[in-house]
Amino acid sequence: MATRQWHGGHSSPVLCVGAAGGPEGLLASGSEGGQVTVWSQDGTILGSVALAGGDDCTGVAFSPAAAGPGRLYAAHGETVSVLDTRDLRAVVTAIPGAGEEEINCVAVSEDGAFVAVADDSGAVRVLDAAAGMRVCRTLRRHTNICSSVAFRPGRAGSLLSAGLDTQVILWSQQKTRPLWTLSLQEAAAAAAAAEADGGGREQSADDRLFNPPLAHCVSVAGCGDVVACAAEDGNVHLVRVGAGAKLERHGLFKAHRQGASQAHFLGFLSHPYWLATGGNDGQVLLWDLSRSPVVAPDAAAAKPGAPAAAAAAHHHRKAKARTKGRATPKGRSHKAPPQGAAAVEEEPPKEEEEEEEEEEEEPRATGNADRASSADEGPKWGPRLQFSHGDKVNWVCPVQLGGEPSLVVADQSSSLTVYSLSGL
C-alpha cells in the first residue's frame, strides 16, 4: 500500500495530529517549541503559526464546522489557543490557565459546545466554548498525570479520561464525581488469573510491578459504547459501556511488544470497530474488533470456555449528605491527592441541585456480575494491517485523504508519514 511523507511543516519533532471531519477536511499538526501547521489533504502547507511562550504543542483538535468554520484548538503549556485556519497570521484568542498544569490532550464535544483538556495535575477541565472558553467544570480523581480525554459520540455530556495512575474514568458533566473507575492494573491481574485458570500463563507480580499498564490514550467508537485504551505494557484494553452508563464488560489483548502509545477508532470504514494503534516498538497496526466479545457480547456467550466474571468488587458506601456552602476541596499535587476527594465545580450549583442527598461511591475494581474480565478478548487472529514504521510513534490520526482511508503518523522526526488503507 502507498506510503508518502509530508515535509517542511515543522523544524522539530511532531507531537500531535488532528483532522477536521468530512472528506475534504483539513489536518493540523503540533510540534515541540509550539509550532502549529495546517495541511491540505494532499499534504500542501496552508499556513503555520508559532504559539506564544515556546511551550510544546501537545494537542490539536478541530471544532465541528457547524460550531464555527475553521476553528482549531491547540494546547501548549497550561494554555489553549483558538486559531482560525482561514487566517493563521495570529492566534484568535488564548486562554491561559485552561489547564492547572501542562496540558497533555485536548478534545472537542460532538456539537462543538465544549472543550476538554487533560493535564499533569491529574485534572480534567471542561471549557464552555459558547461562553468565551470559560472553565465550567473541573473533574478530579486521577492520582497522577491525566494523559488523555475523549467525549463519547452521541452521549451529550459524557466523557472518559485515562492517566498514568492506570485508571480509566467515565464522567458526566452533570455530576461532580465519576460514574465509574476502572483500574487497568487490577483488570489485567484479573484477566491474567482467569487465563491461568484456563491453562494459560499468568503474568507475574514482578511483571506488573516493573511494567504497569500506565494509560496513554483513550478513544471511543462512533457508537459511543465501546472504549479502547492504549497502555504502557503493550496491551490495549477494551470496555463496553452498557445501559445506564454501567461498565458492562472488559477485555484486553496484546497489541505491541513495547508500550502502546496510541489507540484511535476509525469512523469511515465498513463498521465503527476498526482500531488503529501505534507503539514504542515502531509498529502501526490496524485491528478489526467487530468479532471481539467485548464489542459483540453475543460472541462472548458463544465462545467455548470463556472466562467467568472476575470476583465481584463493586464497593458501595453511603457518603455524607451534601449541603449548601460545602467547602471546595483544596488543590493538591498530582502525585498523591487525597483518596475519595470530590470533583470541583467551577460554578456554584443551582439551588435545586444543592438539596441534601445520599451519594453512592462510583463502582471500581476488576469486575462484577454483569461483566467478564479476560485476556486476549481482542482479535486473536492478529492485526489486519501492519506497518513497520521504525521510529517510536507519537501520534496516529485516522483520516480520509481525497476519499482514501489513511493513517497519518507522527514520530520523533519533523515530518509526517501517511499510510494508505485502500483495499480493505
- Taking only the tens place, the pLDDT of each residue in 38-47 is 999 999 999 9
Question: For 305-338, what is each residue's pLDDT tens digit?
Answer: 343 333 333 333 333 333 333 343 333 333 333 3
Instruction: Kindly list the distances between the CA atom of residue 228 and the CA atoms of 2, 8, 135, 241, 294, in Å, as whole numbers in the listed order.
Output: 27, 33, 27, 11, 10
Does residue 9 lie in a domain region?
yes
Higher pLDDT, 370 or 57: 57
Look at residue 337 in the predicted model and tell me its pLDDT: 37
Provide the mean pLDDT of the chain.
83
The tens digit of pLDDT for each residue in 366-424 reads 433 344 455 554 466 689 999 999 999 999 999 999 999 999 999 999 999 999 998 77
pLDDT for the residue 65: 80
Residue 329 has a pLDDT of: 38
Instruction: Measure the CA–CA gap between 282 and 394, rounded to whole angstroms.
Output: 10
Assess contact for 364 and 181: CB atoms under 8 A: yes
pLDDT value for 423:
78
Asked whether residue 424 is assigned to any structural domain, the reply reads: no
Query: % helix / strand / coil in the chain, to the nearest 5?
Result: 10, 40, 50
CATH code, domain carrying 126: 2.130.10.10
Residue 273 has pLDDT above 70, yes or no: yes
| Contact criterion met (CB below 8 Å) for 51 and 35 | yes
Q: What percent of the chain has pLDDT over 70?
A: 77
This prediction's pTM: 0.82
Domain count, the chain: 1
* pLDDT in the model for residue 374: 55
For the ranges 80-84, 173-177, 222-226, 228-232, which has the lowest average pLDDT?
A: 173-177
Between 86 and 350, the more confident residue is 86
The per-residue pLDDT for 192 is: 82
Across the range 299-308, mean pLDDT stands at: 44
Residue 2 confidence (pLDDT)? 77
Answer yes or no: is 289 within a domain.
no
pLDDT higher at 215 or 190? 215
Length of the chain in residues, anyone?
424
Q: Any residues with CB less than 8 A from the CB of 125 and at least 6 apart, and which? A: 98, 99, 100, 116, 117, 119, 135, 137, 138, 139
Q: Rounded to 5 degrees, what are φ and ψ at 260?
A: -90, 115
* Domain span holding position 30: 1-140
Q: How far does Cα 4 stand from its chain's mean position? A: 27
pLDDT at 5 over 60: yes
Q: Which of 373, 313, 368, 372 is nearest to 192 (CA)?
A: 373
Write down the pLDDT at residue 327.
40
Exposed/middle/buried for 210, CB within 10 Å: 0-12, 13-18, 19+?
Answer: exposed
Query: Is residue 127 a contact partner of residue 84, using CB atoms and an 8 Å limit?
Result: no
Give 37's pLDDT tier (boundaries 50, 70, 90): very high
Q: What is the pLDDT of residue 211?
A: 82
Is 83 inside any structural domain?
Answer: yes
Specify the DSSP element, H or E, that contains 206.
Answer: helix 205-210
User: Which is more confidently placed, 87 or 191?
Assistant: 87
Residue 254, pLDDT above cutoff 80: yes
C-beta separation of 377 from 253 below 8 A: yes
Q: Is residue 136 part of a domain?
A: yes
Q: Is the pLDDT of residue 56 over 90?
A: yes
| Least confidently predicted of 35-39, 75-79, 129-133, 356-360 | 356-360
The confidence score (pLDDT) of residue 379 equals 61
Residue 221: pLDDT above 90? yes
Which class for 406: exposed (0-12), middle (13-18), buried (19 or more C-beta within 10 A)?
A: buried
Q: Is 197 helix (H, G, I), strand (E, B) or coil?
A: helix
Q: Assess if residue 155 is contained within a domain.
A: no
Contact 79, 96 (CB under 8 A): yes
The 10s digit of each residue's pLDDT in 77-136 is 999 999 999 999 899 999 999 999 999 999 999 999 999 999 999 999 999 998 999 999
